[in-house]
Structure 1
Amino acid sequence: MTRYHGILATLRSPRHLPLLKSLTQLLRRLRPRAAASDQRLLDTLAAFRNEQADALSLLRRLIAALRPAHAGDEGTPARYALLLECLEQDATLAAAFRHHVLTFIGSRRLLTFFTDSGILPGTGFFSEWWRILGNRLLPEAPDERRMRDCLQLIFERRDDWRWLEAIPAPLAQRFWTVLAPAEDFRDLDRRGVQEQMLDAILLLAHRVSGLGVEDELMRASPNLDDDAPRFIALSAEALEFVSAFRAGLDGDAERFDNGDQLQVIVDQCQDTLKRIRKRALTIGTSLHLSYLLTRGEQSLQRLAELVAILTAGLRQVPHEAAISQWAAFARAVFLAENRRHSLRHYLGQLSGVLAVRVTENAARSGEHYICDTPADYRKMWRSAAGAGALIGVMALLKIKAATLHAPPFVEAFLFSMIYGLGFVLIYLLGLTVATKQPAMTAQTLAGLLGELKPNRSAELERVADVAAAVSRSQLAAIFGNVVVAFPVALLVGLAFTLLGGEAVGPDKALHLLGDLDPLSWAIPHAAIAGFYLFLSGLISGYFDNRAAYADIGRRIGHLRWLRALAGRARAERIGCYIEDRLGGIMGNFLFGCMLGSTGMLGAMLGLPLDIRHIAFSSANLGYALGGLDYAIAWQALLLGVLGVALIGLTNLGVSFALALRTAMRARRIEFAHWGPLLGAIGRRLRSQPGSFLRPPRPPAA
């Protein structure tokens, strides 16, 4: 109490008086709003006393009263608690409320609610994609006889799932306890709902049995002969369970089936789908396979939930546990139904296996970009230097192509071919472009973060080791590219001068210097290139996945014309070579196409779109110096060097941040221990700063 009076005295001091007045005014503004919301809820509850009122209209009014009035309104849980208190304290009101809600549920068709809400439809990936997009333009006409459509009318706003998800689970359980109290539960007329649940179990079992013999699913199954009978037996077991349960409802209590055998087969089918999903991370996957796996898992989960709800009484489950089970089921279905028209939620359900597979491929590529030993470090320097030499030549080709003043599309095509074919040549020669590293090494770091336990110092040190290795590898590649591309440009410019020509004219040289000005559009254009670098990493991973999943190598090796031309053994080697490198070839080629076509796209849209790449920028600086006969002020040269450095930093930072975020989301990693991790890296930087620049020397034998 003394502390409380001390706080009040502090707030009443002249220094804090303005703050106290502001808080008082804020509370005065919020109090009428809260009171108005509570009164609206109480008025809506009072309307439930009218037995002739329409139940659907009452429920829509109730949800509208619970819904947040504005973005900052966080009072929904409090209003929900007020609703429950009113119902629990007024038996007459609770009876009227129960009558309307149960009448509403009993008079609706529940089959699609049980079988389709929260489950992917059977129409396929792209059909559902177009349905969601079409619903934005022309919403579906709801059928009020179906529970599923009524939920769309009750939760009519697309973001209702946000506040519904914020309601604590105990409050939701209390709500269903009010609707089905333990003392009156056996007297409730549940036969109609139970019959529709039994129909739903049959439908779900037949659906999963059909999915189990899909060509795409069985092709990915590790053991076809053992897995197929499980899916076929599921339908027969479900039919036997439903028949026995209906006989029990009709009075033959001995026929009641508690669903244990059906649950065993459901578990076996779920294990099969899990093995196929795990195997897809190794052999590759596709959107169609991911769709089938997700739909099958959702259907099996729903079937198990319905069986558990139906047989709760037979298994002597306490009433509170049974209500909790139903409340969790209803909550999940309501949330899923409200997000049925969300494209982001739809893609999120399917992107898991494919995203992990794509990022895993990039992670394996990223391991090759990390220098652990001095030999690796020297090899990185050599490969980066070779790439720098080729980039110096590519930069000149691009400059010469621009002097042709070709039509925009032709110019974009020429730029794209110079970039794309040049990057493919660099890749096939085993050379290294520095800016390609972050999109790959970020995937490797994400894999480590997913396994990291911050309370173990050894694991923190392991991540610090990788961070140091990534740093020195990246610096070696950057300097290898830049240090070679710049002098190559100078030498090529000098060669042109000795031969009586010029690589770059004075006007073009000034233009190249202007492109490096940090105060111009250089940094935003470098960010665009960083985004393309991130995309190229995903493209490489996607095509690596596609090559493995579609068995591209074997198919190429079986081409008749290739076998006739090169022989069987050589054709198979060619197929393996292409399969192993398809991701890198396509990622580099399409990255070059993106770089080459951005300027034309910006001109078509009237936007200042272009790209800046550190290696090409360093080469352009060399050509600009030669074009001006090296007569350039040191301030302008220093500004150009600063521009190259900032362009490189932006290239690397954007691609690394996007790749790390994508890899962590694909693996569903919620990493919240950045403090200990950064502390470990900081300690390593203080104790061994040289390890971030050069690999440690191996210990003497």
Structure 2
Amino acid sequence: MLFNRIIAIFKNYKQYEVDENKKTSLDIILAAVTPEAPLEARIEWIQKLIRWIRATDLFETESEKIPATKIKYLFMVMDRSPETRNKVQALLTNTLQELTSTEFFCEVGLPSQIGLIGELVDKITSKILPKKPIGHQLSELMITLFPDESDVHWLKSLDEATLNKFTELFGDQDDYPHLKSDMEDSLIYLISQIVAIGLGPGIRKRIPHKKMKSLPFFYLSGKLNLYLKTKNDPAQTELANKLMEELIELLHETEAAIAEVYVHLDRFGVSTHLVFQLERMKLFLKRTFALLEIVNSGHLTKTKISYFVAELVEQNLTQRHAMGIFSNNATLLAQKIVENNSQTGEHYIAKDKTEYWHMVSSAMGGGILTAFTVFIKNFLGTLSLNQFFYGAFSTLNYAGSFLLIQFGGYTLATKQPAATASALARKLEISENREGIEALTDEIVLLTRTQIAAVFGNLVAVIPAVLVVNVIYFYLNGHWTFTEEAAHYTIHSTDILGPSVIYAVFTGFLLWLSSVIAGWADNWYSFNQISYLITNNKKIKTVISEDGAKKLAHFLDHGITGIAGNISLGFFLGFVPVILKFVGIPLEARHVTLSTGALAAAIPTLGFEALSSPEFIRAAIGILVIGFLNLSVSFLLALTVAFKAKKISSRRKALIYRSVLTRFYQKPFSFFIPKSST
């Protein structure tokens, strides 16, 4: 019985799909027009007609022109049959008179929630829940009729003659007095939303040196109400025109105020919630301008109708996609993170021979400290800790080591790429002409050379440091730091034929992600004015003195990015693999400096004759591949995000790639050794 019911449901679903997608000829559609039918039947007929207009599968080229061609054919058919034309006109007129349009004018294509998260949840749930019935809502009908991006193109491409014939089907606009009233109601709603957002503390406090009553938002509602009261009175036409001009001026001042807030965000930090509110205001302003133009014109021109509907369809399609909403509102945050990382990245680019060797020595310091990280990690492995505590102590080990490298003024090579990619992307904005592209190529050469210097410094220091510590440990304890089992596992873990390549790519992703968190932390620190709060907090000044509070704020001003990046990277390398293993995903981290140190520590245990074994040779090759993937993956991810945040065109990227390849062909050694040595 249950099986039969399931089969019946499946058949009903298939039949529904067939009915929805089956092709119906225009003759059959026009023969079925019934102006006296119930509203639901008339709406279904309109849907069939638009579906016929939009169908393009029988045509091979220029699909965006097909609907316009079909509309012309439709009018040609109706011109030959005045009776059919009259029926179609009556059906459209009756239907439009029964539909309410307020939501169509002020909700379609506009965010309905007050926050980004709420909007995302709303869009996701709308994908899951059954579609709303059209009922008496013009907004729901328009969303159903025009569901694709291609509809925007053909709606805007309709010529004046076609638009004239199309609008004639709806009769005179005096037949729809509710449309004008609905537009005015929509204006009231839109203006009230602009005022509410603009006068909110998040935006109001970020418009410098202006009191609430001096803000343009403050007067918008009153000015609109006065205009709506006077615009239909012939005796007050001059006053209505003046009020309209003042209203338009206030709206333009509102746009300027929004630009001021963006300048403040660019300087002091970004909040996605605040950016979402600003984007809502911009959308509401755009819709307000469009409606005011229609209301103030006194008549609805054909072109305005077509473009207005097309704009609403386009905005609705943008708002329907949850990831599109998130992407649009996260762009400014991404830009801020890129800029914060780019400032850090400038310190990682050696521009001359002196800076190059300074980078090598700085990286050697980082390599020596990393040697101790290797031994602590190995020691933790001998304690028989459960996975949670092993991950927790590994996180402390990594994070502590990375922080010591930062505070000691040393360098860890793999932390460079994400920051230097952002620094590079910052320069892309001005690299349009040939001179700019050449200058950018020079920067890429410097960047590549510096990263190679940093890797060389890390590895050339970590290997002897590990061997020295190993010898001291053997002298004190009578055995090497690594057991034979641990040594064999180390070699196997970096073997090029094993999973080390996948682990290296995963680690490159973690390195990039830590740089994102570092940039976000710097933005959060600036946005919340933590430095100001520390220096002006009575409790902090009492405990560590006023001078101590200033020093703490100064320390965090210059160190918050590195602290956040290092702690997050320590967590990613130490705890994330444990979490993934717990859920059944066997991913591990393979960091080039740490892996090199571990491989060096395994040599004394296995004997120096192991250096010539195939396993060790494969492991050494694996180290090279791990280093390349660590650097390249994190760099490419950071550069990709930076490209998108800075909106770099494909053409400019192609010019840059071509210039870099040309330079490498002409001067390959410049990518590896200081310029003064070439």
Q: Deviation at 1:518? A: 1.5
Give secondary structure in 2 for the equivalent of 1:617. helix
The residue aligned with 2:469 is 492
The residue aligned with 1:465 is 442
The residue aligned with 1:194 is 180
Work out whether residues 44 and 62 of structure 1, in 8 Å CA contact, stay in contact via their aligned partners in 2: no
Counterparts of residues 559-638 of structure 1 (less than 5 Å): 559-632=537-610, 633-638=612-617
In 2 relative to 1, CA 165–531 (structure 1 residues): closer, same or farther, beyond 3 Å?
A: farther
In 2 relative to 1, CA 624–110 (structure 1 residues): closer, same or farther, beyond 3 Å?
A: same
The residue aligned with 1:239 is 225
Q: Deviation at 1:621? A: 1.2
The residue aligned with 2:393 is 414
Work out whether residues 534 and 659 of structure 1, in 8 Å CA contact, stay in contact via their aligned partners in 2: yes
Looking at structure 2, the residues matched to 235 and 474 of structure 1 have their Cα atoms a distance apart, in angstroms, of: 58
Work out whether residues 601 and 609 of structure 1, in 8 Å CA contact, stay in contact via their aligned partners in 2: no
Give secondary structure in 2 for the equivalent of 1:118. coil
Give secondary structure in 1 for the equivalent of 2:670. helix
Unaligned runs of 5+ in 2: 1-19
The residue aligned with 1:225 is 211
Work out which of the residue numbers 250, 253, 265 in structure 1 matches 2:250.
265
Q: Deviation at 1:614? A: 0.9
Work out whether residues 48 and 96 of structure 1, in 8 Å CA contact, stay in contact via their aligned partners in 2: no
Q: For residues 416-470 of structure 1, what are the alpha-carbon distances to aligned partners after superposition, in whole Å with 9 as ceiling and x for unaligned? A: 11112222222232222211111112112222333332xx221111111111111
Give secondary structure in 2 for the equivalent of 1:220. coil
Looking at structure 2, the residues matched to 279 and 501 of structure 1 have their Cα atoms a distance apart, in angstroms, of: 62
Q: Deviation at 1:589? A: 0.5
Report the TM-score when normalising by structure 1.
0.85
* AA aligned opposite 1:419: Y
* AA aligned opposite 1:110: S
Give secondary structure in 1 for the equivalent of 2:112. coil
1:639 aligns with 2:618: yes
Work out which of the residue numbers 105, 110, 118 in structure 2 matches 1:119.
110
Q: For residues 1-52 of structure 1, what are the alpha-carbon distances to aligned partners after superposition, in whole Å with 9 as ceiling and x for unaligned? A: xxxxxxxxxxxxxxxxxxxxxxxxxxxxxxxxxxx99963525642564323
In 2 relative to 1, CA 649–519 (structure 1 residues): closer, same or farther, beyond 3 Å?
A: same
In 2 relative to 1, CA 227–472 (structure 1 residues): closer, same or farther, beyond 3 Å?
A: farther
The residue aligned with 2:380 is 401
Q: For residues 187-235 of structure 1, what are the alpha-carbon distances to aligned partners after superposition, in whole Å with 9 as ceiling and x for unaligned? A: 6534321111111112212221222211111122123238843111222
Work out whether residues 356 and 663 of structure 1, in 8 Å CA contact, stay in contact via their aligned partners in 2: yes
The residue aligned with 1:554 is 532
Work out which of the residue numbers 272, 275, 298 in structure 2 matches 1:290.
275
Give secondary structure in 2 for the equivalent of 1:234. helix
Work out whether residues 68 and 163 of structure 1, in 8 Å CA contact, stay in contact via their aligned partners in 2: no
Unaligned runs of 5+ in 1: 1-35
Work out whether residues 373 and 696 of structure 1, in 8 Å CA contact, stay in contact via their aligned partners in 2: yes
Work out which of the residue numbers 98, 101, 114 in structure 2 matches 1:107.
98
The residue aligned with 1:443 is 422
Give secondary structure in 2 for the equivalent of 1:222. coil
In 2 relative to 1, CA 296–617 (structure 1 residues): closer, same or farther, beyond 3 Å?
A: same
Q: Deviation at 1:553? A: 0.9
Q: Deviation at 1:390? A: 1.3
Work out whether residues 492 and 615 of structure 2, in 8 Å CA contact, stay in contact via their aligned partners in 1: no
Q: Deviation at 1:165? A: 4.4
The residue aligned with 1:306 is 291
Q: For residues 52-97 of structure 1, what are the alpha-carbon distances to aligned partners after superposition, in whole Å with 9 as ceiling and x for unaligned? A: 3533212332444456688999775354134212233233456554
Report the TM-score when normalising by structure 2.
0.88
Looking at structure 2, the residues matched to 396 and 172 of structure 1 have their Cα atoms a distance apart, in angstroms, of: 76
* AA aligned opposite 1:104: T
Q: For residues 616-650 of structure 1, what are the alpha-carbon distances to aligned partners after superposition, in whole Å with 9 as ceiling and x for unaligned? A: 11111101212212231343332122101111111
Work out whether residues 269 and 527 of structure 2, in 8 Å CA contact, stay in contact via their aligned partners in 1: yes
1:85 aligns with 2:72: yes
The residue aligned with 1:676 is 655
Q: For residues 149-171 of structure 1, what are the alpha-carbon distances to aligned partners after superposition, in whole Å with 9 as ceiling and x for unaligned? A: 3344445xxxx334434547313
In 2 relative to 1, CA 112–223 (structure 1 residues): closer, same or farther, beyond 3 Å?
A: farther
The residue aligned with 1:349 is 328
The residue aligned with 2:36 is 52
The residue aligned with 1:386 is 365
Work out whether residues 41 and 66 of structure 1, in 8 Å CA contact, stay in contact via their aligned partners in 2: no
Looking at structure 1, the residues matched to 173 and 129 of structure 2 have their Cα atoms a distance apart, in angstroms, of: 44
In 2 relative to 1, CA 96–174 (structure 1 residues): closer, same or farther, beyond 3 Å?
A: farther
Q: Deviation at 1:698? A: 11
In 2 relative to 1, CA 549–44 (structure 1 residues): closer, same or farther, beyond 3 Å?
A: farther
Looking at structure 1, the residues matched to 346 and 204 of structure 2 have their Cα atoms a distance apart, in angstroms, of: 33
Work out which of the residue numbers 126, 129, 133 in structure 2 matches 1:135.
126
Q: Deviation at 1:482? A: 1.6
Give secondary structure in 2 for the equivalent of 1:221. coil
Looking at structure 2, the residues matched to 294 and 124 of structure 1 have their Cα atoms a distance apart, in angstroms, of: 11
Q: Deviation at 1:516? A: 0.7
* AA aligned opposite 1:146: Q
Work out whether residues 384 and 477 of structure 1, in 8 Å CA contact, stay in contact via their aligned partners in 2: yes
Looking at structure 2, the residues matched to 342 and 71 of structure 1 have their Cα atoms a distance apart, in angstroms, of: 29
Q: For residues 318-345 of structure 1, what are the alpha-carbon distances to aligned partners after superposition, in whole Å with 9 as ceiling and x for unaligned? A: x8xx433332332222233345442212
1:326 aligns with 2:302: no
Larger displacement relative to structure 2 (527-536 or 114-123): 114-123
Work out whether residues 439 and 537 of structure 1, in 8 Å CA contact, stay in contact via their aligned partners in 2: yes
* AA aligned opposite 2:599: L
* AA aligned opposite 1:264: E
Looking at structure 1, the residues matched to 645 and 95 of structure 2 have their Cα atoms a distance apart, in angstroms, of: 41
Looking at structure 2, the residues matched to 463 and 163 of structure 1 have their Cα atoms a distance apart, in angstroms, of: 39
Work out whether residues 508 and 630 of structure 2, in 8 Å CA contact, stay in contact via their aligned partners in 1: yes
Work out whether residues 359 and 663 of structure 1, in 8 Å CA contact, stay in contact via their aligned partners in 2: yes
> Alignment identity in percent?
22
The residue aligned with 1:17 is none
1:40 aligns with 2:2: no
Looking at structure 2, the residues matched to 612 and 72 of structure 1 have their Cα atoms a distance apart, in angstroms, of: 54
Looking at structure 2, the residues matched to 494 and 330 of structure 1 have their Cα atoms a distance apart, in angstroms, of: 79
* AA aligned opposite 2:48: R
Work out whether residues 553 and 575 of structure 1, in 8 Å CA contact, stay in contact via their aligned partners in 2: yes
Q: For residues 457-488 of structure 1, what are the alpha-carbon distances to aligned partners after superposition, in whole Å with 9 as ceiling and x for unaligned? A: 21111111111111111111111112212222
Work out whether residues 286 and 354 of structure 1, in 8 Å CA contact, stay in contact via their aligned partners in 2: yes
In 2 relative to 1, CA 257–378 (structure 1 residues): closer, same or farther, beyond 3 Å?
A: same
Q: For residues 345-381 of structure 1, what are the alpha-carbon distances to aligned partners after superposition, in whole Å with 9 as ceiling and x for unaligned? A: 2212311222211221112212221111222212211
1:508 aligns with 2:499: no
Larger displacement relative to structure 2 (371-380 or 43-52): 43-52
* AA aligned opposite 1:81: A
Work out whether residues 401 and 411 of structure 1, in 8 Å CA contact, stay in contact via their aligned partners in 2: yes
The residue aligned with 1:30 is none
* AA aligned opposite 2:304: Q
Give secondary structure in 2 for the equivalent of 1:622. helix
Work out whether residues 37 and 65 of structure 1, in 8 Å CA contact, stay in contact via their aligned partners in 2: no
Q: CA RMSD for the aligned pairs?
A: 3.0
1:654 aligns with 2:645: no
